[in-house]
Amino acid sequence: MGNPLKEVELAGSKDSDAKPPESAEVPLLSDSTQNDTPDEASKSDQTPANDKESKKLDDIGGDDQAPLLSQHRNDAAAKGTQMPHANGATTEVVQYPPELIKEMESKYAAYVRHDVYGNWGTRSVSLFEKLQLLVALVTICPIRVFLLFAILVLFYVICKLCTLRVTASSSDEGQESFAHMTGVRRTIIVRSGRFLARAMLFMFGFYYIPVENRTSEEMQSLHLGLGDSEESQDGEAKVLDNARPGAIVSNHVSYLDILYHMSASFPSFVAKRSVAKLPLVGLISKCLGCVYVQREYRSSDHKGVSGVVTDRLEAAHNDPNAPGLLLFPEGTTTNGGYLLPFKTGAFRARTPVQPVILKYPFSRFSPAWDTISGARHVVLLMCQYVNHLEVVRLPVYRPTQKECSDPKLYANNVRRLMAAEGDFTMSDIGLYEKRIFHCALLGKPLPPAPAPQGSESK
């Protein structure tokens, strides 16, 4: 995808309708590429090229919704050539017509950058903008890099001291955590972690973050966007109260989302297993109590990620000392103006959830981590003198009896609530469409069609 530092999303495909996917999988918060397994790659290689491309077109909406992409495929076939795909031997740059790119920008609007620098940060900018960037690059940027690294090292040292002579809790699923600690050690980790996470946001230019806490009374007087759903017209009132949530569910715009939530409530989150082995960050993630995911793990003797997440959600709901769990049910980032279909992993435990809405207003560079490389994003972000983040915390959403028995309905209703209150446009595209869009912008072959959901591990 050309974005090696981005978040990994565990979901690989989307449903064709407007309802959230049924998968119980939980999106990850690090790394953005999803590699095909050898079995999937071999199956793809055995599939005729025309069938593979037809499947791709079906997955992005069919010929009617993507006529130019269909025409591009047909033109290639008419010339006796195959349309290149990611798991083939073709390595040359693919020339996509400008009209096709514009069509994709309209269809995949949730991933289009609207700031001064444009998609991938390569748009031509004015001389004044270049001068601003140059001044910031040689003045404030080096200072911010040094201070951010110093804060990270400081928190690592605090975590190291607080975990001396403490054995990490482990499970059959390979989970390791220091979140079970109580007393003074845990208090020091949580309070210092929240303070230093806010300090890191300050170093990134988020000097002031306004937070609006909606009350139950305010919510009842607002249009929640739920009344038009047949599933919600079952005579059961929506309950929005102060019950202890099992999970914090938030829209996903940037890696900065994690820093904000750390500063606000210091929750655990779902991460790739390799994160636990990273220098500095590995120990910090264990102190957060992260749920680690190993996608290659297929043993039927263990409950899997979905089961671990469900247990953690129930513990967070019932035990005041258990760490909360932060989940991004969209499974990937957007440009900040859209809300993608929610996966059901955060809602299968039938526990209340805390919806949190994050908005990043901007005038020059957008903090949204989408359609831009990781290194370029970090540099441009730190070269912007002031960045803005606005937060809306909705009341805890307790599911009705019908929502408890139907996680898909539960997820969809929470999504509609957040879209109405955050003024988001609901979009039905997903990670696969993002890959198609990125490949087209970068002149790369189209990605292979995702494996059926049934082949994914829970």
**CB proximity list for 21: less than 8 A, separation 6 or greater:** 11, 13, 14, 15, 341, 343, 344, 430, 453
Q: 368 vs 10, which has greater pLDDT?
A: 368
**CB proximity list for 259: less than 8 A, separation 6 or greater:** 197, 200, 201, 204
C-beta separation of 272 from 28 below 8 A? yes
- Return d(Cα 201, Cα 211) in angstroms, integer: 15
What mean pLDDT do residues 254-282 have? Answer: 94
Phi and psi, residue 72, nearest 5°: -60, -40
pLDDT reported for residue 39:
41
CA angle, 307 then 311 then 315, to 5°: 170
What mean pLDDT do residues 286-306 have? Answer: 70
Inter-CA distances, 210 with 192, 205, 252, 260, 405, Å: 21, 14, 18, 12, 36
Q: 75 vs 257, which has greater pLDDT?
A: 257
- pLDDT greater than 80 at residue 294: no
Q: 413 vs 168, which has greater pLDDT?
A: 413
What mean pLDDT do residues 73-77 have? Answer: 54
- pLDDT greater than 60 at residue 115: yes
3-state helix vs strand vs coil in the chain, percent to 5: 45, 10, 45
pLDDT reported for residue 253:
98
* 424-455 residue pLDDT tens: 999 999 999 999 999 999 999 988 887 665 54
C-beta separation of 391 from 209 below 8 A? yes
Longest dimension (CA), the chain: 71
- Return d(Cα 413, Cα 36) in angstroms, integer: 32
125, two tokens: 């900018």
Inter-CA distances, 230 with 5, 196, 227, 234, 413, Å: 41, 46, 8, 8, 11
What mean pLDDT do residues 399-427 have? Answer: 96
Closest listed residue to residue 402, CA positions, set 168, 185, 289, 239: 239
| Strand 338-339 relative to strand 390-393, pairing | unpaired
- pLDDT greater than 80 at residue 141: yes
**Alpha-carbon dihedral sign for residues 417, 422, 427, 428:** negative
- Return d(Cα 161, Cα 158) in angstroms, integer: 5
- pLDDT greater than 70 at residue 332: yes
135, two tokens: 């001044």
C-beta separation of 7 from 332 below 8 A? yes
* 194-231 residue pLDDT tens: 999 999 999 999 999 999 998 766 655 554 444 444 44
224, two tokens: 């929640």
What mean pLDDT do residues 305-330 have? Answer: 90
What mean pLDDT do residues 2-6 have? Answer: 38
Range with the lowest mean pLDDT among 186-195, 217-226, 413-422? 217-226
- pLDDT greater than 90 at residue 233: no
pLDDT reported for residue 106:
94
Closest listed residue to residue 431, CA positions, set 35, 5, 24: 35
Which residues, in sequence order, are bridge partners of residue 291? 270
- pLDDT greater than 90 at residue 34: no
* 142-163 residue pLDDT tens: 999 999 999 999 999 999 999 9
- 3-state SS, residue 97: coil
302, two tokens: 């263990």
- Return d(Cα 14, Cα 163) in angstroms, integer: 41
CA angle, 295 then 448 then 81, to 5°: 160
What mean pLDDT do residues 76-97 have? Answer: 58
Mean pLDDT of the chain: 80
Closest listed residue to residue 26, CA positions, set 260, 307, 275: 307
Range with the lowest mean pLDDT among 86-90, 116-120, 127-131, 444-448? 86-90
What mean pLDDT do residues 4-22 have? Answer: 38
Q: Please give the DSSP secondary-structure letter assigned to residue 239.
A: E
Asked whether the whole model's pTM tops 0.75, one would answer: yes
